[in-house]
Amino acid sequence: MVTQVPSVRGTKRPGSRKQRPMSGTGGRTAALFLTPFFAVFAVAMVAPVIYAVVLSFFAQQKSGLGFSEAKTSFVGLENYLQVLQSESFVGGIGRLALYCAIYIPCMVGGALAFALLLDAAVARARKLFQLLVFLPHAVPGVIAALIWAYLYTPGVSPIVSALESGGVAVNFLDHQMILPSIVNIAVWEWTGYNVIILFTALQAVPREILEAARVDGAGEIRSALSIKLPLILPALSVIMLFTVIGTLQLFTEPSIISKATASVTSTWVPNMWAYDAAFNRHNLNQAAAASIIIALMAAVLSWAVTRFSSRTNKA
C-alpha cells in the first residue's frame, strides 16, 4: 500500500523538471513532519533508557558511619547481579510467568469464543452485545482493581456471600487464590477489547466461503473451527503480541489489591520490585537495573512472539 505512492507520482511526469525539486525537498519536508515526533520520542523514551543504563552501572556507597556524603562509584554489572540474585525479584518473575500462563489462555480463549458466538448466524442484538462487552475497557485499571477488591472482600461482596450460602467458603484474597483473582481482573478488563478486534476480523471473512461450506453440509461449529478460525489467525497473533507486552506491565492491579490484603507484597511482580527499590529502599541504581532487565525481557518476548506468529501465518 505504501510502495504504490511513489510509483504513481513517478509515472505521471517522467523527466519533468517539476518533479526533481519535489523529490529533492522530500527529505527536508519529511524531516519537518517527523521532527516533533522524534524529538518527543528522544526525550521521553531514548534519553531515559540511556540514562537508566548509565545509572545501572554505578552504586552509591555510604562511608562507614554515614556522616559524610554518599560516594558514587562504578560497579560494572554488580547491580544486575544483585537484582537477578534477589529472591524477591526472581520470585516476581516466576509469579509473572505463572500469571501469563493462566491469563493468556483464559483471556484469548474467552475473547475468541465470545467473538465466534457473536459472529454465529443465530446471534441477535450484535451492536448491543459489542457495546456491553467493551464496557470494562472504559473503566480505568485502578477503578477496575478497586471494584474487584470490594467484590473479593467478605462482608461487602455479593459473590462471597452467594458462595457462602451455597456452602462454599472461598477467600479470594488468600495466598492460593490471589493470583487467579488478579488474573480475573485483567481478564475482565481486556477480553471485551479483544472481542471487538476478533469480531471485526471475523466480519471480513468472505460470506461466500461460509455459504459454500454450509451448502456442503458444515454446521456452525464446524465452519467456525475449520474456516473462520484459520482465516483470523493474523488478528489472533497481533492480539497475542500486545497481550504479552501488556502482561509485562502488570503493576496497577496488584498495587491496588496490595492495600486490601497482605498476600500481595510490595515486591510482588518485577515492576513493583523496581518501584519499591526506588521509593522505599531508595536504591535508584538498582531500580534502574531492574527497569532495564524488564525492558530487555519485553524485547526478547515480543521478538519471539513476532517470529513465532509470522511463521504460523506463512504456514
Partner 1 sequence: MSTSTMSRPGISAPASPLKRRRSARSGGFASSFTVNALLILGCAYMVLPVVWLLFASTKNTADLYGTAAYAFGQPAFFDNVAAVLNQDGGVFLRWMANSMFYAAFGAVFGGLISVLAGYAFDKFQFRGKDSFFGIVLVGVLIPNTATVLPMYLLASVFGITNTVWAILIPVLCNPFGVYLARVYSAAYVPAETLEAARVDGAGPIRSFFSLGLPMMMPGYVTIALFQFVGVWNNFMLPLVMLQDQKLLPVSVGISIWQGYALPQPEFTPMVITGSLLSIIPLLVAFILLQRFWKSGLTAGSVK
Question: What residues contact 223, with CB distance under 8 A and at least 6 apart?
Answer: 210, 213, 214
* Closer CB to partner 1, 63 or 282, in the complex: 282
Q: Which residues on adjacent β-strands are paired with residue 59?
A: 73
Locate all alpha helices (DSSP H) within the chain, ordered by sequence: 4-12, 19-41, 47-56, 78-85, 87-119, 126-134, 141-152, 158-165, 178-203, 207-215, 220-223, 229-231, 233-248, 252-257, 270-279, 284-314
Stretch that binds partner 1, among 65-73, 88-96, 172-180, 254-262 (CB under 8 A): 254-262
Residue 2 phi, psi dihedral angles, 5° rounding: -80, -35
CB of 275 to partner 1, least distance (A): 7
Q: Which residues on adjacent β-strands are paired with residue 72?
A: 60
CB of 53 to partner 1, least distance (A): 9
* Closer CB to partner 1, 179 or 185, in the complex: 185
* Closer CB to partner 1, 23 or 312, in the complex: 23
- Does position 133 interact with partner 1 (CB under 8 A)? The reply is yes
- Does position 33 interact with partner 1 (CB under 8 A)? The reply is yes
Which residues ranging from 148 to 187 are in contact with partner 1 (CB under 8 A)? 148-151, 155-158, 161
- Does position 310 interact with partner 1 (CB under 8 A)? The reply is no
State whether residue 297 is helix, strand or coil: helix
Q: Which of 218, 245, 265, 266 binds partner 1 (CB under 8 A)?
A: 245
Rounded Cα gap, residues 6 and 116, in angstroms? 40
Rounded Cα gap, residues 91 and 89, in angstroms? 5
Stretch that binds partner 1, among 72-80, 97-105, 146-154, 171-179 (CB under 8 A): 146-154
Which residues ranging from 50 to 109 are in contact with partner 1 (CB under 8 A)? 51-52, 55
CB of 218 to partner 1, least distance (A): 11
Q: Which of 214, 231, 233, 266 binds partner 1 (CB under 8 A)?
A: 214
Q: Which of 27, 64, 166, 217 binds partner 1 (CB under 8 A)?
A: 27
- Does position 235 interact with partner 1 (CB under 8 A)? The reply is yes
In 3D space, the residue among 118, 100, 146, 143 whose CA is nearest the CA of residue 304 turns out to be: 100
